[in-house]
Amino acid sequence: MPDSLSPPDIAARHAGIDGVELEDIGSNPAPRDTIQQIAERRLSRRAALMGLGAATLADQLVAAAQPALAQAAVPMTGGPSTLTFPELRLQLSQRDAVADGYEIQTVIRWGDPILADAPAFDPARVTAASQATQFGYNNDYLDFFPLPKGSTGSDHGLLAVNHEYTNPGLMFAGVGSGSAARLRVTAEQAAAERMAHGMSVVELRRVDGRWSYVPNSTLNRRITADTEMRVSGPAAGHDKMKTSADPTGRLVRGTINNCAGGNTPWGTVITCEENFNNYFGGTAATTGAQADSYRRYGIVAEAANPWGRFEPRFDLNREPNEPNRFGWIVEFDPYDPTSVPVKRTALGRFKHEGCTMAVNPDGRVVFYMGDDERFDYVYKFVTARPMDRNNPAANRDLLDEGTLFVGKFLDDGKLEWLPLVHGQGPLTAANGFASQADIAIETRRAADLLGATPMDRPEDVEANPVTGRVYVMLTNNGNRTAERLSAANPRPRNAHGHVLEIVPPGAGGRAVDHANANARWELFLLAGKPGQDAGARYHRATTDQGWLSCPDNCAFDSKGRIWISTDGAPSAAGIADGIWAADTSGPGRALTRLFYQAPTGGEVCGPTFTPDDTTLFLAIQHPGEDSGSTFETPSTRWPDFADGMPPRPSVIAIVKRGGGVVGT
């Protein structure tokens, strides 16, 4: 989620974890057509749709990729958007803000006690023991699981929450700010950081219109960087998965850098390991037997988060295989606090942003994924067999068998899903792939050989449950040059990102074939400020408040409207990160409207609705993560605004005053 390829000033903002880019790696060295040839081909099929001018070649690519305006019912009044909330004005301040008529409720904050033996939060006494029982740091992905299990209620449930990374300069006194703060962290503080990673599961209730969590609930759970996990799928037991602590290659301690995620139709959580590379270092990064693989995943000698000073397993010189045990999809049962999380290696190893599902008409389940790196790829996984709707237990290991695909976005608007299967094409022993396990461990290199399309930081990839269309959040790519443009990534120096739309066969009908190896693609919007940022494209009626920068995550309400959260807008555009909403069809298609903005330094993550659409949960990550901001003198003390209290990453609930559906 936070950019792992940031310039130094943004690297400081991300406190040395997600903001440190180790090397920009181009993935597909194959010769490419000229941008003029691409433009001519695309313009021969679609030209200047929706009345948008195209003065430059990049603009021509943008215009050619725009879909025709979908025909749908016009709103009874107002319009063209079906969203009726009063649009918020753009801001950048110490406090957050939401559209008039809505209320922000703080549900749970970093350090709040969730297990029975947890102490109350004390910012002066953050220890490994306390953090292991309290709500973790830097909440990201959110998912709401109704209680009781199997129900569809919206007032009582479990909230599954990722804790992606830590900001020691805002967690501890005396360590300063930026990436240098990590070098001042003590062994005890590093241990507390490890316990602040992972996930929390907390029971929530809404009583008299207000949300709160249930302390000491027997369903509450913490998963940390030390929680024991099982490895399954093709890479389980492979030699490159074995360490001195685990000679079997089938047991792993912990999960780290959990960014976004997803769920399954059988009621389990999927959490995604993203920028795992930043935790490993040592001279073996450049001199060891796996140096090429390390390089492809951005692992360097000087780790951005140098836990290896205190914990040998993060030192490549001592445990060269330990990084291979991270970068996976992890599945567990949120309803069972004793369930053992499982790393599902069949879904590939890369910097997983999210993993969201769609059920195919034949019962197979398709999972869409983005590899959050400049010039990396969009993937999907199709299970080998259909799910059993009547016996959830039969689906327990469904994710261990299936086919992983990577996307090739052709310039004529077609999408080919290329199978990453051992023995097919270049994926053979001659190229270093002796089995499917090798493809799972080195997924990026396998995708390179297949000629997948390098994208502008693919993050969240989600299917619209109403239309079946799939939306890809492409956050930005300031390193793309004019020589490396493609129709799906049409802007050089793409500082603001864009949203791409995948159209599987049957989209818009009742039988959407997500498992098909072919699809179409279109551009939904190109972010940035119209009239100022080259190539920015939205609906014509988008207001001065409606433009956005750096799309990151998304969610859909039950009407199929998209809610987009951003990460990086303060640096890229001088505005706070926030939530923008838009119709995905009809006269208001791509007419984005500003609904919420975060406090300074904060990123908006994990948008998720209750089943009845009356609550929108958001994770506000790293508030106060600004240049020079420290524990003692933070840029904001959100959400408590109490003397001596540092900013605290928190989950909020947004509800309509007086009740009702969010957005209308």
Amino acid at 582: A
Is 197:275 a contact under the CB 8 Å cutoff?
no
Q: Which is nearest to 602 in space by CA: 9, 91, 16?
A: 91
* pTM greater than 0.75: yes
Q: Distance between alpha carbon 524 and the CA centroid of its chain, in Å?
A: 19
DSSP string, 344-361: EGGG--S-EEEEEEEE-T
- pLDDT over threshold 70, residue 67: no
Considering the chain, what percentage of its residues have pLDDT values greater than 70? 89
Report the pLDDT value the prediction gives residue 77, as an integer from 0 to 100.
Answer: 72
Cα distances (angstroms) measured from residue 508 to each of 470, 502, 504, 513: 11, 12, 9, 11
Confidence of residue 80 (pLDDT cuts 50, 70, 90): very high
Say how far apart CA 606 and CA 564 lie, in whole Å: 10
Other C-beta atoms closer than 10 Å to the C-beta of 430 total 8
Which of the 8 DSSP states describes residue 329? E
- pLDDT over threshold 70, residue 5: no
- Token pair listed for 164: 């992606």
- pLDDT over threshold 90, residue 43: no
Confidence of residue 52 (pLDDT cuts 50, 70, 90): very low
Which residues partner with 272 through β-bridges? 329
Is 557:47 a contact under the CB 8 Å cutoff?
no
Report the pLDDT value the prediction gives residue 59, as an integer from 0 to 100.
Answer: 54
Report the pLDDT value the prediction gives residue 2, as an integer from 0 to 100.
Answer: 53
Helices 35-43 & 57-64 angle (0-180, nearest 10): 40
Sign of CA dihedral 272, 134, 264, 156: negative
Q: Distance between alpha carbon 166 and the CA centroid of its chain, in Å?
A: 16
Consecutive H or E run containing 365: strand 365-371
- Residue for token pair 């059920």: 359
Pairing state between β 342-344 and 228-232: parallel
The more confident residue out of 28 and 279 is 279
Which residues partner with 415 through β-bridges? 409, 519
Say how far apart CA 361 and CA 433 lie, in whole Å: 33
Report the pLDDT value the prediction gives residue 532, as an integer from 0 to 100.
Answer: 94
Candidate from 4-13, 477-486, 617-626 with smallest mean pLDDT: 4-13
Quick check: helix, strand or coil at residue 276?
helix
Is 636:94 a contact under the CB 8 Å cutoff?
yes
173 in the Ramachandran plot: left (φ > 0), alpha (ψ -120 to 50) or beta? beta
In terms of residues, how long is the chain? 664
- What mean pLDDT do residues 487-500 have? 98
> How do residues 608-663 score in pLDDT, each as one tens digit?
999 999 999 999 999 999 999 999 999 999 999 999 999 999 999 999 999 999 99
Considering the chain, what percentage of its residues have pLDDT values greater than 90? 87
Confidence of residue 179 (pLDDT cuts 50, 70, 90): confident
Cis amide bond preceding 634, omega within 30: no
- pLDDT over threshold 60, residue 576: yes
Q: Which is nearest to 314 in space by CA: 349, 350, 274, 281?
A: 281
The more confident residue out of 9 and 353 is 353
As a whole number, the mean pLDDT across the chain is 91
- Residue for token pair 């930043």: 278
Other C-beta atoms closer than 10 Å to the C-beta of 127 total 15
- Token pair listed for 64: 């050619």
The more confident residue out of 438 and 75 is 438
Confidence of residue 595 (pLDDT cuts 50, 70, 90): very high
- Token pair listed for 590: 């791509």
- What mean pLDDT do residues 97-105 have? 98
- Token pair listed for 569: 């807008």
Write the CB contacts of 247 (distance below 8 Å, at least 6 apart in sequence): none
Write the CB contacts of 5 (distance below 8 Å, at least 6 apart in sequence): 21, 24, 373, 374, 457, 479
Confidence of residue 30 (pLDDT cuts 50, 70, 90): very low
- pLDDT over threshold 90, residue 486: yes
Quick check: helix, strand or coil at residue 160?
strand
Pairing state between β 258-263 and 251-253: unpaired
Other C-beta atoms closer than 10 Å to the C-beta of 504 total 24
Write the CB contacts of 221 (distance below 8 Å, at least 6 apart in sequence): 115, 199, 200, 201, 334, 337
Say how far apart CA 489 and CA 145 lie, in whole Å: 36
